[in-house]
Chain A
Amino acid sequence: MSASTLPPVIELRGLTKQYGIGEAEHRALDEVDLTIEKGEFVTIMGPSGCGKTTLLNILGLLDRSNDGEYLLDGNSVESLSHRRHARIRSEQIGIVFQSFNLINRLNVIENVALPLTYKGMFRTKRLKMASEILNSFHLSEREYYMPWQLSGGQMQRVAIARALVNHPSIILADEPTGNLDSKSSHIIMEELSDLHKRGNTIIMVTHNPNLTTYASRVIHMLDGKIASDTKVAIEQVNEIKNIPLGLHTNKKPISRSAKKRQKKAAKK
């Protein structure tokens, strides 16, 4: 893969995060070393309190580590100012939350366009880009709906569209299906899986072991350390990348449908 020649998207060296001092000291992350290459779909699993959300927050620059190094696209970002962090969040990171976090006052398209605001983009251009991304999520006819007029699954798709609108280097998802029923969960995972196939780097935290079937790499964490790191059969990312999203709307999980897709690709 061509990705190997570029610096890894994320590189963590001895990353440590501790809360409290002295007796009350608690290490949420204990010298974590982790390298994530471009195009990987990583799921992070583990029991509550193992530090996976803390890790995600640090990766998303919402939190700072106490020790260690964090390289994003080959640049050290840990010691930068709050303002620079905000800039990086705006340009390189997309976050999907468990509870969607759409702003109720704004309609769908404005919610999706929100991250572009902080890139200093004009409103017309923002809305145009948001509209394009919503179109690829088949949400065009919902553009002017208000968030409360949507189902949970639709809201999360809007939230994913929002995370993607600024073309981030990494997409961080914290239990994206945690608030959804199994059918909506499935749709959301299909969307994430599609994004992955189109070359996006996704890091997802989840409790649900079933969802790991979508991932290319599964990391188990325990007590602030990485307990296991398994790479699943690597997908043919580059080949599938250019297929329009629409063709994949009703597909089964990746591992089972790999052959089918290869056939389709061969026909073309």
Chain B
Amino acid sequence: MIHLYIFEHLQNAYLSLRATRLRTLLTTLGVAIGVASITTILALSGGVTKVVLSQVNALGGNMTVVRPGVVSRNLDNFANPTIEQTYTTSTITEQDIATIQSIPHVASVAPLMILSNTLHSNVDNKHVPSTVVATTPDLAVTSELPIQSGQFLDPTLNRDSAVIGSQLSINLFGTAQSIGQTFTLRNQTFTVIGVLKYINNPINYNAVDFDNAAIISLESGKAFHQGIAQIQQIDIRADSTAALPGVMKSISNALTKNHQGEKDFTVLSGKDISQPTSRFFLAITSVMTVIAAIALFVGGIGIMNIMLVGVAERTREIGLRKSVGASSGNIAWQFLTEALILSLVGGVIGYLGGYFIAFAVSTMLPFNPIITWQIAAISLSMAVGVGVIFGLYPAIRAARKDPIESLRQYH
């Protein structure tokens, strides 16, 4: 008997929604915009996470990362999103690198000191803005950077050697074959000794686009900073996956001791590495999620508004239906079904529209949105939730109407 009523309510809802097409369309649009924003955000942020996560997985399960500061997931991050560790003094010191290197089961350690600078090419006197990474030779091992030609940094080499990304090589010298060429950075000349393979991995846990970066030795980097290493991250590989938890614990203990008991760093592994890749991105995502939630809320208010209008308009119909045998429950379900159809149709349109936006935006971004059933489920259940929450009150109001009073309207 229930399924019979459902069919009946669906038909009723279809007829009454068809009778007020424009109103229905506008209400649906309200929900659709909210759902579309949520879908877009989920698809894109899922895309980023997936990219980084797949890299971390590709490196094997023996990877851990130490970052300065404590990653907190509270609202302070969102209120002050642009302040990144790059611009503040790092809490990680060179001493920490040495400490980590001495921990058993640590296979390789690579600190990352990231500088943003303009490089001057010796060819055509070009000026190319680029990311400069000061690090140790171990980076090639920890991050598995492939060399296309030449070689990676080596402790035996001249301090003024550099390895550059293939795209940067093209930008600077017009060719990917640039070994032996020189460029200047803050009036200091560097010689290219190696070019990386084109890896097209602009988003990664190192937060460096290696295709567009120049890699110099840590000593050279320190020279730009009055001899102090400004380390944004330390990449560490344990000698086996099984040893990783122990290594992480030892690192944590050793560094806490180094820092006089102050735990002003974070040791991350696996999925955690990928999440706070960019706080800015995290903050943007959070703010957009809030905006999307507000949009959805406004859409819900639209539904409630239009349903209340519908209930008022159809007061007589409610009275009549009751007088021919409809129970209050029947009436409530009739109006709730209508609200649910509005929200669900809005949800489907919003879901499709959201992916349309996500794919349109992703043509300008270095990653693709992800399509998973979870996103569909979240989007549609959000829509249905909005329908239920905002449709319930009008439905109850309709159900509570007194048949005699209702039939007396507009006599």
Q: Do A and B bind each other?
A: yes
Task: Point out residues on A near B: beta carbons under 8 Å.
Answer: 57, 60, 62-63, 82-83, 86-87, 89-91, 95, 97, 99, 101, 103, 105-106, 114-115, 117-123, 162, 166
- In addition to A101-B319, A101-B320, A117-B326, 5 A-B residue pairs with Cβ atoms within 8 Å of each other are A62-B404, A90-B324, A95-B324, A97-B320, A105-B19
Whether B16 sits at the interface, judged by CB under 8 Å, is yes
* Contact assessment for B330 and A103 in the assembled complex, using a CB-CB cutoff below 8 Å: no
* Contact assessment for B15 and A86 in the assembled complex, using a CB-CB cutoff below 8 Å: no
Contact of B407 among A82, A87, A101, A117 (CB under 8 A): A101
8 Å CB contacts to A: which residues of B300-349? Answer: 316-317, 319-330
* Chain B residue contacts of A82, Cβ below 8 A: 327-328
25 contacts between A and B (CB under 8 A): A62-B322, A62-B404, A82-B328, A83-B327, A83-B328, A86-B322, A86-B328, A86-B330, A87-B325, A89-B323, A89-B324, A90-B326, A95-B323, A97-B320, A101-B320, A101-B323, A105-B15, A114-B321, A118-B321, A119-B325, A120-B1, A120-B5, A121-B4, A123-B11, A166-B325
* Chain A residue contacts of B322, Cβ below 8 A: 62, 86, 89
When C-beta atoms are compared, the residue in chain A nearest to B326 turns out to be A118
Task: Point out residues on B near A: beta carbons under 8 Å.
Answer: 1, 4-5, 7-8, 11, 15-16, 19, 316-317, 319-330, 403-404, 407, 411
Q: Kindly provide the distance from the CB of B406 to the nearest chain A CB, expressed in whole angstroms.
A: 10
Q: Given A62-B403, A62-B404, A122-B4, are A114 and B324 also a contact pair (CB < 8 Å)?
A: yes
Give Cα distance in the complex from A83 to B399, angstroms.
12
Q: Kindly provide the distance from the CB of A85 to the nearest chain B CB, expressed in whole angstroms.
A: 8
When C-beta atoms are compared, the residue in chain A nearest to B7 turns out to be A123
* Chain B residue contacts of A60, Cβ below 8 A: 323
When C-beta atoms are compared, the residue in chain A nearest to B322 turns out to be A86
Contact of B325 among A91, A103, A105, A122 (CB under 8 A): A91
* Contact assessment for A90 and B325 in the assembled complex, using a CB-CB cutoff below 8 Å: yes
* Chain A residue contacts of B16, Cβ below 8 A: 105
Give Cα distance in the complex from A114 to B331, angstroms.
13
* Contact assessment for A118 and B404 in the assembled complex, using a CB-CB cutoff below 8 Å: no
* Contact assessment for B15 and A106 in the assembled complex, using a CB-CB cutoff below 8 Å: yes
* Contact assessment for B325 and A62 in the assembled complex, using a CB-CB cutoff below 8 Å: no
Give Cα distance in the complex from A63 to B15, angstroms.
30
* Contact assessment for A87 and B327 in the assembled complex, using a CB-CB cutoff below 8 Å: yes
- Name the residue in A101, A119, A122 with the highest tally of chain B Cβ atoms < 10 Å from its Cβ: A101
Give Cα distance in the complex from A46 to B338, angstroms.
43
* Chain A residue contacts of B328, Cβ below 8 A: 82-83, 86
* Contact assessment for B327 and A115 in the assembled complex, using a CB-CB cutoff below 8 Å: no
Give Cα distance in the complex from A123 to B319, angstroms.
22
Give Cα distance in the complex from A102 to B25, angstroms.
27
**Top 5 A-B residue pairs of the complex, sorted by shortest distance between their CB atoms:** A90-B325, A86-B327, A118-B325, A115-B324, A120-B1
Give Cα distance in the complex from A268 to B411, angstroms.
47
* Contact assessment for A57 and B404 in the assembled complex, using a CB-CB cutoff below 8 Å: yes
When C-beta atoms are compared, the residue in chain A nearest to B323 turns out to be A95
* Chain A residue contacts of B326, Cβ below 8 A: 86, 90, 117-118
* Chain A residue contacts of B317, Cβ below 8 A: 103
